[in-house]
């Protein structure tokens, strides 16, 4: 995958086995992050508009002064936010959004629309959410347009599945043996440790 480490390398080539998802709350907000206004904020700097406290949205863009544009589905698709008033939404909060990494709930043995080539435990990415809340999910290498009933789905735990979402925030993986950052990445070093944002991924068949 290609990773953007702001101010260091905007197109760093990474081996997924050497990477991990960045812990929730680390680093700056990135495009694709699911966010909400902090509970301590009663009057956002740029106003509520049609958005309400507790609503969960998706970051659409981050401006040069760090202000963000957030998409709150069905309310405001371009809400202006002050980052000091925002926080990452807890796992499982809010509706499923395009780009979210999901899986079928362990309690579901027979999905409403069938398994097809998908298997229990597979992690996919939400491609679209239809007007009746049904979702289309991309399970790489299995089904790129799987139809899902949202009541049967859940957000995938952090770190599960492949790095399939462009925009997810990552860092180099610590060595399990010595507890230090990978010192010799397969495709060369990037200055410092820091956090990066996935720009592109490839699906490869292992032979």
8: Cα within 13 Å, side-chain hemisphere: 15
What pLDDT, in 10s, does the model give residues 134-188? Answer: 889 988 889 989 999 888 888 876 555 555 455 556 666 655 433 344 556 666 6
Angle value at C-alpha 106, between 24 and 74, nearest 5 degrees: 55
Mean pLDDT for all residues in the chain = 75
Q: What are the residue boundaries of the structural domains of the chain, listed by start? A: 1-24+158-207, 29-90, 101-155
The pTM score is: 0.43
> What is the Cα–Cα distance from 104 to 157, expressed in whole angstroms?
12
Give the phi and the psi of residue 187 in degrees, each rounded to 5.
-105, 20
pLDDT at 6 over 90: no
pLDDT digits (tens, 9 = 90+) for 82-92: 988 998 876 55
Q: What class, spelled out in words, does domain 29-90 have in CATH?
A: mainly beta
What are residue 36's DSSP bridge partners? 87
């Amino acid at each position: 995958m290609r990773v953007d480490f702001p101010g260091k390398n905007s197109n760093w080539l990474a081996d997924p086995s050497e990477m991990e998802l960045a812990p929730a709350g680390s680093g700056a907000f990135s495009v694709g992050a699911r966010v909400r206004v902090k509970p301590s904020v009663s009057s956002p700097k740029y106003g509520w508009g049609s958005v309400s406290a507790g609503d969960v949205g998706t970051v659409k863009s981050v401006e040069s002064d760090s202000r963000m544009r957030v998409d709150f589905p069905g309310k405001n698709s371009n809400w202006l936010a002050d980052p000091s008033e925002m926080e990452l939404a807890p796992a499982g909060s809010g509706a499923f959004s395009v780009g979210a990494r999901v899986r079928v709930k362990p309690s579901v043995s027979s999905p409403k629309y069938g398994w097809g080539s998908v298997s229990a435990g597979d992690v996919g990415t939400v491609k679209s959410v239809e007007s009746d809340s049904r979702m289309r999910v991309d399970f790489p290498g299995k089904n790129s347009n799987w139809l899902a009933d949202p009541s049967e789905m859940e957000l995938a735990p952090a770190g599960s599945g492949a790095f399939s979402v462009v925009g997810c925030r990552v860092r180099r993986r610590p060595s399990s043996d010595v507890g230090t950052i990978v010192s010799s990445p397969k495709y060369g070093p990037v200055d410092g440790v820091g956090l990066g944002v996935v720009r592109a991924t490839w699906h490869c068949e292992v032979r």
